[in-house]
């Protein structure tokens, strides 16, 4: 397999795992993580307060902004995930020699 095909395959595998985490693990994290719950509650409260004072056109604009920012953050998360995989396969590879290290993560 040539280098370009191998890169595309690896990129696809990493994207697939990112999607898997997003679809099947994110909700469990959101339900358990206290800091995430607090942050979500704060942002939802602020959004509700803003929505009360805006016209329909302004609400639509705010929703578009919220959606654009969410997409921006998901894209940034994708970058961090990719970099985390790269770090795990290179400069953090020594962690595999620590007994039960995986239990820390899951």
Question: Tell me: the pLDDT tens digits for 43-93?
Answer: 999 999 999 999 999 999 999 999 999 999 999 999 999 999 999 889 988
Q: Sign of dihedral through CA atoms 33, 27, 16, 97?
A: positive
Predicted pLDDT of residue 65: 98
- pTM for this model (two decimals): 0.79
Report the alpha-carbon distance of residue 48 to residue 103 in Å, rounded: 39
């Amino acid at each position: 397999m040539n280098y370009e095909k191998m890169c595309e395959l690896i990129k696809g595998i990493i994207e697939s795992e990112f999607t898997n985490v997003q679809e099947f693990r994110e909700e469990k994290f959101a339900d358990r993580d206290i800091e995430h719950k607090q942050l979500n509650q704060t942002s939802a409260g602020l959004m509700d307060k803003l929505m009360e004072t805006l016209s329909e056109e302004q609400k639509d604009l705010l929703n578009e902004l919220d959606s654009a920012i969410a997409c921006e953050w998901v894209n940034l998360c994708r970058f961090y995930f990719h970099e985390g995989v790269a770090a795990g396969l290179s400069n953090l590879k020594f962690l595999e020699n620590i007994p039960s290290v995986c239990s820390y993560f899951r």
